[in-house]
Structure 1
Amino acid sequence: MPNLNWDDVRHAMAVGEAGSLAGAARALGVNHTTVLRRLDALEAQLGARLFERQRSGYEPTEAGQALLEQGRHMAVRVEEIERQILGRDRALAGPLRLTTAFVVMDHLLPQPLAAFVQAYPGIEVEVVENAFLIDLNSSHSSVDQGVARREADVALRLSNHVAEHLVGRQLGMTQCRIYAQRGAPGLPQSITPLNDLVRDAPWVAFERDTSVRAYDPWLRQLLAQSDVKVRVDIYNAKASMLRTGIGVGVLPTFMAEKHPDLIAVSEPIPEMQQPLWMVTHPDLRGTARVKAFMQFVGDALAQRLAEAPS
């Protein structure tokens, strides 16, 4: 039997994930006749029907289930090979994908990133702003496509913990304080004990059930009996609400430079300090563009954190 064509297997896996030719075609960015042609070719080569065509969609047969299971193993192996080849890339050119949080992109990253792309014009950086921490180890398998896809080359993470298999460095610590609109009637305008703020001040808080940030459960418990006026999902939205004078709220201190109309009304809160990490997968750390990015941008961010007011 001739060797299996990985593209044929990939199309079959997409059918298995989507349950239809049309769904697989959308996920793969092709037309449904291409998917059908690939599937027919694979079934002919294997001499087995992989899916039963039913009204509810394409249901994998026993042979199809076996193929999908083995295909997932193949996808992982293809992904590993890709990472190892990329790790030997010595060119200071090509794409580099970075994942980070909205607040880091908005307040810490722009100047270091601009300086990097000016220093390395051959490298195209794509930033994926994401508040959730992507596991670079798996290169994140896409549910829609049913195939392995690399999510990021480098991650910037505000987190107390990073996966042990990732490599990188801690760039510095970030602090949080409580802020209020400068000069707002009825709001504190100087450093106030935390317990007094929790008891007496109106608040702008995060969503009630969020657990995106490591300290969300602690903060939610702290404000359980407080007078919460508005709840938002991200720091930038919170800063916008604080600037209306509706209440006080927690922000990272590195946001203060961009919001001079806000004033800190608490000391830094120990329970909310977090390190900023820059990490990558071990297979990619030798890639020239990854190495250059982590050194250049990492040094710049470490300096910004060291100089940020606490």
Structure 2
Amino acid sequence: MPAISWSDYQVFLAIARTGQLAAGARALGVDPTTAGRRLRRLEAALGARLFEQSRTGQELTEAGETLLSAVEAMASAAGRIGEDALGGDGLHGTLRISASEGFGSWFLAAHLPRFQAAHPRLAIDLVANSGFLSPSRREADVAIMLSRPRTGPLVAHKLADYTLRLYGSRDYLEAHGTPQRPAELASAHALVGYVPDLLYAPELRYLDEIHAGLKANIRSPSITAQMQLVIAGAALGVLPCFMAEGDPRLVQVLPECRITRTFWCVTHQDIRKSPRVALFRQWLDETVRDMEEVLQP
């Protein structure tokens, strides 16, 4: 049997207690689509159908009734462990998270309030800018980085892959035409990109992967500034899909040009088991797994 996440059991428990998928999702602070996906994942892992649809909502099957007793015992035990470990007051103190500007400002900022609401006594510092704080030097508790560190007293695991594509505004494409081949970018189009000597990670070199020798005409160390330049019609630019896909002002250009990068979750080995770090890492893993279609559309 594949490993089953505790969050999937929590979804099952919430639906069983409320009798409805939507009500269970609200109780957990997630959307019904996410709750339904987690329930289907749990049923697939167990090889059993846990609910039957009725006129009023979800009714437990025989397998669901059996599982409910076990999961309620697990939830009760987990609650006692949390109270013993944290003095009954929940997580407290400060959790400092370092992330790239795009992931921090556009992805984490959208989902982090849910984690904070579950731990209201925990202060959270989200440092999202062009660069990373160092877990090795204890500048951050958790860093979301673009490569796996090779040295230092660190623990790292792969968080998720994400996709980048070339985008242009509708106004720009109407004025300058839509390129059909990567080679056209060098001769007939302006490009937005990073300032070469201000690159804080080599993984941010994108243009050569689209066509050798491409150079940016307008440059900024800020991915947010680059995106605004593309929206304003100044040039074409490579942008993370999780930032650009939801903006109706932007259009994919040369859709065959797909760039993949990876986020790594990194922390100092001495604090990896602290409750605030361990629970945040678990929550983050579950969140990016649920949002895989946003990171890699």
8 Å Cα contact 2:104-2:127 kept in structure 1: no
**In structure 2, do the counterparts of structure 1 residues 131 and 264 end up closer, same or farther at CA, with 3 Å as the change threshold?**
same
8 Å Cα contact 1:169-1:277 kept in structure 2: yes
**In structure 2, do the counterparts of structure 1 residues 220 and 209 end up closer, same or farther at CA, with 3 Å as the change threshold?**
farther
8 Å Cα contact 1:167-1:279 kept in structure 2: yes
Q: Deviations 1:178-226 (Å, cap 9, x if unpaired)? A: 110024323344x733222233212222224333232455637957565
Q: Deviations 1:100-120 (Å, cap 9, x if unpaired)? A: 111112211023211101111
8 Å Cα contact 1:187-1:248 kept in structure 2: no
8 Å Cα contact 1:181-1:245 kept in structure 2: yes
Q: Indicate which of 289, 292, 295 corresponds to 1:302.
A: 289
TM-score by length of structure 1 reads 0.59
Question: Aligned partner of 2:250: which letter?
Answer: L
Match of 1:286 in 2: 273
Whole-angstrom CA distance in 1 between matches of 2:108 and 2:98: 11
Match of 1:94 in 2: 93
Q: How does 1:103-114 map to 2 (within 5 A)?
A: 103-114=102-113
Match of 2:239 in 1: 251
8 Å Cα contact 1:108-1:301 kept in structure 2: no
Deviation of the 1:303 alpha carbon: 2.3
Greater Rg, structure 1 or structure 2? 1
Q: How does 1:108-257 map to 2 (within 5 A)?
A: 108-139=107-138, 151-157=139-145, 159-163=146-150, 165-184=153-172, 185-189=174-178, 192-216=180-204, 219=207, 224=213, 228-257=216-245
**In structure 2, do the counterparts of structure 1 residues 256 and 125 end up closer, same or farther at CA, with 3 Å as the change threshold?**
same
8 Å Cα contact 1:166-1:281 kept in structure 2: yes
Q: Deviations 1:124-155 (Å, cap 9, x if unpaired)? A: 1111223223331232xxxxxxxxxxx11111
Whole-angstrom CA distance in 1 between matches of 2:204 and 2:104: 21
Q: Deviations 1:252-291 (Å, cap 9, x if unpaired)? A: 1111244221111023645x42111112111111111111
8 Å Cα contact 1:175-1:269 kept in structure 2: no
Question: Aligned partner of 2:227: which letter?
Answer: A
TM-score by length of structure 2 reads 0.62
**In structure 2, do the counterparts of structure 1 residues 239 and 225 end up closer, same or farther at CA, with 3 Å as the change threshold?**
closer
8 Å Cα contact 1:176-1:251 kept in structure 2: yes
Q: Deviations 1:53-105 (Å, cap 9, x if unpaired)? A: xxxxxxxxxxxxxxxxxxxxxxxxxxxxxxxxxxxx94322211111111112
Q: SS state of the match for residue 176, structure 2? A: coil
Q: SS state of the match for residue 209, structure 1? A: helix
8 Å Cα contact 1:180-1:187 kept in structure 2: no
8 Å Cα contact 2:130-2:221 kept in structure 1: no
Match of 1:6 in 2: none
Whole-angstrom CA distance in 2 between matches of 1:137 and 1:250: 31
Q: CA RMSD in A?
A: 2.7
Whole-angstrom CA distance in 1 between matches of 2:143 and 2:136: 11
8 Å Cα contact 2:163-2:296 kept in structure 1: no
Whole-angstrom CA distance in 2 between matches of 1:116 and 1:203: 38
> Does structure 1 residue 262 correspond to structure 2 residue 250?
yes
**In structure 2, do the counterparts of structure 1 residues 298 and 134 end up closer, same or farther at CA, with 3 Å as the change threshold?**
same
Whole-angstrom CA distance in 2 between matches of 1:90 and 1:137: 26
8 Å Cα contact 1:208-1:220 kept in structure 2: no
**In structure 2, do the counterparts of structure 1 residues 176 and 205 end up closer, same or farther at CA, with 3 Å as the change threshold?**
same
Whole-angstrom CA distance in 1 between matches of 2:214 and 2:265: 37
The percentage of aligned residue pairs carrying the same residue is 25
Q: SS state of the match for residue 126, structure 2? A: strand
Whole-angstrom CA distance in 2 between matches of 1:152 and 1:110: 17
Q: SS state of the match for residue 273, structure 1? A: strand
Instruction: Select the structure with the greater relative contact order (CA < 8 A; seq sep ≥ 6).
Output: 1
Unaligned runs of 5+ in 2: 1-83
Q: SS state of the match for residue 300, structure 1? A: helix
Match of 2:36 in 1: none
8 Å Cα contact 2:161-2:295 kept in structure 1: no
Question: Aligned partner of 2:260: which letter?
Answer: Q
